Structure 1
């Protein structure tokens, strides 16, 4: 009985009802993306000092002004978190097989909190870039573990809706970040924006360490630790103290090497299994091309809007559209998939149709001359585009066996960033430097949505 209570096999620990777990994951996710929005907002990101032909100069503002960054360096800051995410995601997903997931989340979020405080205290381009990289480590810890937990604990008929609630925090957080960054940046200083985020996140890493752990489906309670302790007790019963010390040191040494090696071989085996899963690969390829557009929209959106339609409050307007459409679209996608019965085939149908229609509306919106016409069409487009959030992650969770879910989520997240929104921000920057017309750049970018819709349409045939 003692073992059972320790490994978290008891039914729900008293305070952690599935709903509370969902709320905690949502707040963490929200804070993570508020940070992503804040660093892109005109208030925190700022602008370089400019001089008109007549010789009137305005001083630079925000990070870009303070550190005198060109657009490429500025784009690098938006993507630097990826370095941490890339390296740490597969590591956290593999460790989840032998360590308690909540302790892992605690470690990751501690790194996040320290890194964000570091961003607020940075003094040049490299110091802030390194802190942004460490922010990715924090995200890696819970992004691959939160979705499988939600999937395990959600009521059967509402699984996609619960996932939608979690993923809704991405657009909502990013948009809130635009508004928050714009406000704090203009009222106080861009550094304050980071310090406040760090203080808000602080309770969660602590919670990760003190929380009574839950077990994930498809994972045995950590046998490795039991095995280790039993070996050591056997040695200690043989008597002689010197022998005992040497023996223990030897066992620990060889154990840690073989443990690392075992984890590595297990990881490569799991990776092979994932990459041979056609449904998984097609889903992720569609998600990459989708994210290519979303990433560049969220980074360059306010700047493009300001340039094409001369909006004075581009941060607020883009933030507003994204927050409303993001929340409504994501929840609608989850509820709709639950309604038509959540199967992988239905998910692909929904993905391809919503993305195709959304792309048409966004494309036409950028061709409109008037701001009001743009806002109406772009809002409808965004609404349809965000319908995909829950179904795409539902497919990633459901097309693999339970024990592969953390890795499946980790590799999906890493891929959509590495091949999607990370290269898209700098590439769109380069394209814009080349054509120097935000309207044309936006149209070129939006047409990539048709590629995503096409790939997901192929996915439907693979599951038919």
Structure 2
């Protein structure tokens, strides 16, 4: 298959737009959560369950789509999943109790996309060019998350109803689904590795699911980075879901009644910090990887460890000085966002092409199972155990101590990435060897089949 640079860049552009919409949709709920919570008298625990239901569905379905993504047409899988995602997102706007069920179905679309998109980028680009494309792709996470807060809160404020916040993105998702079917290119698995070896006609073949799992569990870098990424997911999931509500309560506790701009400010900070963090992370990776083979793991560790004190102090100053809190949140988010590109790159160059979707899927499963699937619910439950008083001062106090858990999780995550640095170079070389071995076996089998065909043509 001959793929032009133009096709590759168009494909990355479409994948970026889908990822942007993905995270907008995910955090629209957080942007309007105070409205939903007030309208239906929900406590912290039930409100947190709305996000947990979605994440549980998303992570549970990821291994299925990972298996399919390593074996079947990836753009058809993504396009179909996005259509399901559009329909279920629209359905969430009709009833808050029905939302608990339907939010789970939204996970179908996100699981079909998130497990596959990075592997397509990996098959189209290699080396520093891959890092740049992944950085561009992962800009969508903080920018989309920020836009989710902004669009959710502003649309709800303009229409006087939280329901309309869930009725804009589905139409865009349908259009992007059409792009999946008719615009993007699905390159052969391992395309870059094949080009490097001048063996484009030999497609990298998938191994058995059992063999995939054994290989991934033996891959120490994959295991440790998955643990580190789980801590990132726990922290970002808890802060993204509860921070706007906490700051709103802190404002009210100080007698500040005009809180309509909280979602807008938090969203803008999330966007700016995300862009800054992803840029710094990608550039640091580009500059240091050739000189220090394990640089990507160190970048992730430093970012997560350094973010902990900023997050911790910001939580305890929210009831004292909000301007200072916004500054600390910005710095903390920049440091956390250093991780996105290096984490993705580590997986793609330490796992052979034949099992990358499976690796993505199980990293999603594990990181969300022990990360942001439970963190919004857990933080809500802890806050409820501290106080049931609905007064803003008590609500802010409870959320402050509940959210402080995230800082200790950041430290654990940083330790996980430090452990990954010890095995990263070895696992990278092992992945390169396995890819070459896979293609070599196919060449030998191809040559043997020609030999057998020639023997059959000899008269006997």
For the 8 Å contact 2:69–2:115, the answer to whether it is kept is no
Say which SS state the counterpart of residue 372 (structure 2) adopts. helix
Q: Does 2:2 align with 1:22? A: no
Secondary structure of the 1:421 match is: coil
1:377 aligned residue: 328
Contact 1:167 1:389 (C-alpha < 8 Å) held by counterparts: yes
1:293 to 2:238 alignment: no
Pair 291,33 (structure 1): closer, same or farther in 2 beyond 3 Å: same
**TM-score for the superposition, normalised by structure 2:** 0.80
Q: 1:98 to 1:155 in 2, by over 3 A?
A: closer
Decide which moves more: 360-369 or 106-115.
Answer: 360-369
Structure 1 residue 205: Cα displacement: 1.7
Change (3 A) 1:463 1:101: closer
Higher relative contact order (CA 8 A, sep 6+): 2
Q: Report the alpha carbon displacement of residue 334 of structure 1 after superposing the two structures with TM.
A: 1.0
Does the aligned pair in 1 maintain the 2:7–2:185 contact within 8 Å? no
1:118 partnered with 2:91: yes
User: Hey, what does 1:366 align to over in structure 2?
Assistant: 315
Distance (whole Å) between structure 2 residues aligned to residue 181 and residue 166 of structure 1: 22
Task: Give unpaired runs (5+ residues) of structure 1.
Answer: 1-8, 50-59, 220-262
Tell me: CA distance 1:293–1:48, structure 2 relative to 1, closer, same or farther (3 Å): closer
Offset at residue 45 of structure 1 (A) = 5.4
Alpha-carbon distance in 1 for matches of 2:26, 2:229 = 19
Alignment match, 2:214: 272
In structure 2, how many angstroms separate the alpha carbons of the residues matched to 1:333 and 1:458?
19
Asked if the contact 1:344–1:399 (Cα under 8 Å) also holds between the matched residues in 2, the reply is: no
Whether the aligned pair in 2 keeps the contact of 1:280 and 1:396 (CA below 8 Å) is: yes
What stretches of structure 2 of length at least 5 have no aligned partner?
192-205, 388-396, 426-460
DSSP 3-state at the match of 1:159? helix
**1:11 aligns to 2:3 (yes or no):** yes
- 1:289 touches 1:452 (CA, 8 Å); kept in 2? yes
Matched-pair contact (CA < 8 Å) for 2:222–2:347: yes
1:81 CA drift (Å): 2.0
1:399 Cα shift?
A: 1.3
1:410–1:295 Cα change, 3 Å? same
Q: Which whole-Å CA distance do the structure 2 matches of 1:374 and 1:141 have between them?
A: 37
Tell me the CA shift for residue 457 of structure 1: 1.2
- Out of 262, 269, 291, the residue aligned to residue 321 of structure 1 is 269
- Choose from 69, 94, 101 the match for 2:67: 94
Which residue of 1 is the match for residue 180 of structure 2?
208
Distance (whole Å) between structure 2 residues aligned to residue 72 and residue 435 of structure 1 = 12
Q: For residues 190 and 370 of structure 1, do their structure 2 counterparts lie closer, same or farther at Cα, with a shift above 3 Å needed?
A: closer
**Equivalence for 2:344:** 393
Shift of 1:32: 1.1
1:344–1:291 CA distance, 2 compared to 1 (3 A): farther
1:326-366 Cα shifts (integer Å, max 9, x gaps) = 11101220122012126761111111112111212222233
In structure 1, how many angstroms separate the alpha carbons of the residues matched to 2:138 and 2:272? 14
The within-5 A match list for 1:24-173 is 24-42=14-32, 46-49=35-38, 60=39, 65=40, 68-120=41-93, 122-125=94-97, 127-154=98-125, 156-173=127-144
CA distance in 1, matches of 2:140, 2:323: 27
Match of 2:440 in 1: none
- The TM-score, its normalising length taken from structure 1, stands at 0.79
State the SS of the aligned residue for 1:422. coil
Task: Answer whether contact 1:359 1:385 (CA < 8 A) is retained.
Answer: no
**How far off its partner does 1:391 sit?**
0.8
2:286 pairs with 313, 323, 338, which one? 338
Change in Cα spacing, 1:48 to 1:358, as seen in structure 2 (3 Å) is: closer
Q: Distance in 2 between matches of 1:328 and 1:163?
A: 15
1:140-159 deviations in Å (ceiling 9; x for gaps): 11211111111222363232
Asked if 2 retains the 8 angstrom alpha-carbon contact of 1:355 and 1:453, the reply is yes
Q: Distance in 2 between matches of 1:105 and 1:427?
A: 31
For residue 438 of structure 2, what is the aligned residue in structure 1? none
Structure 2 Cα separation of the partners of residues 47 and 111 of structure 1: 24
Distance 1:344 1:367 in 2: 39
* Alpha-carbon shift at residue 113 of structure 1 (Å): 1.3
Structure 1 residue 407 displacement after superposition: 1.0
SS in 2 for 1:22: helix
The CA RMSD over aligned residues, in Å, is: 2.4
Q: 1:105 to 1:331 in 2, by over 3 A?
A: same
Q: CA deviation at 1:131?
A: 1.9
Inter-partner Cα distance in structure 1 for 2:188 and 2:293: 22
Does the 8 Å contact 1:161/1:331 carry over to 2? Answer: no
